[in-house]
Structure 1
Amino acid sequence: MASEPDHGSRQASQDLRPVVTNLNGDTAWLVSFPLPAAERTESGKSYYHIVVEPWLSEHIVLFTALLGSITLPEPPAVKDAAAVDAIVRDIEQAADSPAHADASVDVIVVTTWLLDHMHRDSLTGFAPSIPVLASPEAAKSISGWKHFECRIRPPLPGWLSVFRVNAHDVVYAFVFVGCHGDDGNEQHDALLYLPTDTRRTCRLWTGSSRRPGGHAC
């Protein structure tokens, strides 16, 4: 179920924390990282919004109906791209962002070509102008759809990094690391995205650190 973000009034950048919203009770997430102070002032937004592997319908047909289908345990709470953008606006409004009414998704991340992670109907519901950061296999398929204008490895903001975790017992895991702060105080937030563990569930861990007096992000 999608969570209801709850913020107080507009805060200093280092006091904001990432907002993580599950979109379908499974592997689809909206991850909202706080923007550095300068970008908040320039854009009128408080967060940078990342959609991770949107699967926003209840069923996926495996190539043909004869091969079967994949079904979510429960119907998704968020059913299309417009509903995701509505959550983005709610998050920005809760943070008292001046431009909350015009806020929308900033980037889409797809870690694998598997159909429950790279759901075509859900992805193509988003605006073609949204950049898509995808693994090589997924990028090849998404390019073939000819929907998105920027499909393969777009540049991310300098304060945000995405790393793939490679290990023999870890599949399709990514780490998101964001840096923001005011007056030289750095706040680092890290989120580990592990789509499937040994119990077939999606996991997302969060952590943060603060370094007073550090360099500006």
Structure 2
Amino acid sequence: MASIAAKDNESPTQPQSKTHINTLTRRPLLIHLNADTTWLLSLPIPPSQPSIRLYNHILIDPWLRGGQSDVARFFSRQWHATPSACQSIDDIESIIQAIEAAAAEDPPGLVDGELLSTRQDSHALDKSMDSIDAVIVSHEFTDHMHKDTLMEIPPQVPIFASTKAADIIRSWKRFHTVLEIPRFEGDWRKSSVSPLPEWLGISRVAYAGADMLYYHSAVMIAFSSGGQEGEAVIYTPHGISPDDVTPVAEAKPKLRTLALLHGLQDIKLGAQLNMGAHNGLKVQRLLRAGHWIGTHDEVKNGGGIVSWFLNRKMISLQEAIERDKIEREADGRGSKGTKFVSLADLRSREVENGQLVILE
């Protein structure tokens, strides 16, 4: 079974006091399963919903081991530079069962900022119930839609995917349910489609005229523990135009953004690929997420023609703040709107490979 081990030394960006989960006021958990952009989001099941478990577990863009290639190997081929914290779907299910067991303890045995590790011991996995409740595939590119990893997932687990990814996954004829992620239209409750429970919705935040790739877009996981107002996690591995997230900021019923997952690296291949920290700052200005967490920033091993022309630039958050200040003064905004003058204002947080975060 999975063991949950606290790290020896906390990163300077982590809180100095550790926050334990209260079983009466459970909060969402976010676990980074690799150094790149595979996540496990565990949402507390409302007390009003009968369940033998405490959380609904959503796996996002799973790529755990092995290589990935788009178009052809001579064009692009990559591998993780750092081994993933979880090497298999069984490892993820072990983590899930350990989380459920730890959360049920009195006092709860989960700690914000701890590193999770998997190891086999005398306890066998409980296969009597499915551990993963849903899988999100944000794009059809194989670092998001990694076939070898996805094929390990039990076929009864529903897949929510972008348009093109959904078509490809259906062609594998493995999964019973493959649904296209609907576009967010202002009311998150409309994205709570079967087989999701009524308190949970998955939608895509994108400009209405976006092309089929939805490259610069976001997946929103929204939920409510009661009442109409909800909370949301915004996942945008390549970045998104600030204008396109305005509907989230203006949503009715209101949505509180718990976490923004937006990368820090500016990456170009002729055209803009990942939009980087400066764009993320503008999105965070609108959403004021409780946590801004970097994603899709692993510098992977690989080669191919793409590697010759890829332009990767790492912009620090402090550099983004300074650049933003200059731009705002130049266009006359000055003190208007939300200013970020420190890293604390950004609510930015680095989440390591295998690390757990409690989303307050």
Q: Is the structural similarity TM-score above 0.5?
A: yes
What is the CA–CA distance in structure 2 between the aligned matches of 1:38 and 1:27, rounded to whole Å? 32
| 1:214 matched residue in structure 2 | none
Given the alignment of the two structures, is residue 165 of structure 1 paired with residue 205 of structure 2, yes or no?
A: yes
SS at match of 2:148: helix
**What does 1:2-151 align with in structure 2 at a 5 Å threshold?**
4=4, 11-12=23-24, 15-39=25-49, 42-96=50-104, 101=126, 102=129, 104-151=131-178
Conserved 8 A contact 1:19-1:31: yes
Cα RMSD for the two superposed structures:
3.4
SS at match of 1:162: strand
Given the alignment of the two structures, is residue 180 of structure 1 paired with residue 225 of structure 2, yes or no?
A: yes
Conserved 8 A contact 2:151-2:174: yes
SS at match of 2:165: helix
What is the CA–CA distance in structure 2 between the aligned matches of 1:8 and 1:187, rounded to whole Å? 25
AA paired with 1:179? S
Alpha-carbon offset, residue 5 of structure 1: 8.4
* Offset from partner CA, 1:6-30 (integer Å, 9 cap, x none): 8857612xx1110000111111100
What is the CA–CA distance in structure 2 between the aligned matches of 1:189 and 1:4, rounded to whole Å? 27
Conserved 8 A contact 2:70-2:141: no
Conserved 8 A contact 2:34-2:83: yes
* Offset from partner CA, 1:32-68 (integer Å, 9 cap, x none): 00001122xx221110000001001142133543334
**Gaps spanning 5+ residues in structure 2: where?**
7-18, 106-124, 181-192, 240-263, 266-273, 292-360
Conserved 8 A contact 2:200-2:223: yes
SS at match of 2:74: helix
TM-score of the aligned structures, taking structure 2 as reference length:
0.49
Alpha-carbon offset, residue 163 of structure 1: 2.4
What is the CA–CA distance in structure 2 between the aligned matches of 1:59 and 1:137, rounded to whole Å? 21
What is the CA–CA distance in structure 2 between the aligned matches of 1:20 and 1:58, rounded to whole Å? 24
More strand per residue: 1 or 2? 1
TM-score of the aligned structures, taking structure 1 as reference length:
0.78
What is the CA–CA distance in structure 2 between the aligned matches of 1:38 and 1:116, rounded to whole Å? 38
The structure, 1 or 2, with the larger RCO (C-alpha pairs under 8 Å, 6+ apart) is 2
What is the CA–CA distance in structure 1 between the aligned matches of 2:289 and 2:59, rounded to whole Å? 16
SS at match of 1:65: coil
Conserved 8 A contact 1:9-1:96: no
Q: Alignment length, in residue pairs?
A: 198
AA paired with 2:23? Q
Alpha-carbon offset, residue 77 of structure 1: 1.3
AA paired with 1:160? L
What is the CA–CA distance in structure 1 between the aligned matches of 2:221 and 2:5, rounded to whole Å? 20
AA paired with 2:47? A
Conserved 8 A contact 1:180-1:187: no
Alpha-carbon offset, residue 128 of structure 1: 0.5
AA paired with 1:120? K
Percent identity between the two aligned chains: 29
Alpha-carbon offset, residue 146 of structure 1: 0.6
Alpha-carbon offset, residue 94 of structure 1: 1.1
> 116-125 or 63-72: which moved more?
63-72
Alpha-carbon offset, residue 151 of structure 1: 1.3
> 169-178 or 115-124: which moved more?
169-178
* Offset from partner CA, 1:120-172 (integer Å, 9 cap, x none): 00001110010001111110000001111111246211101122121489713
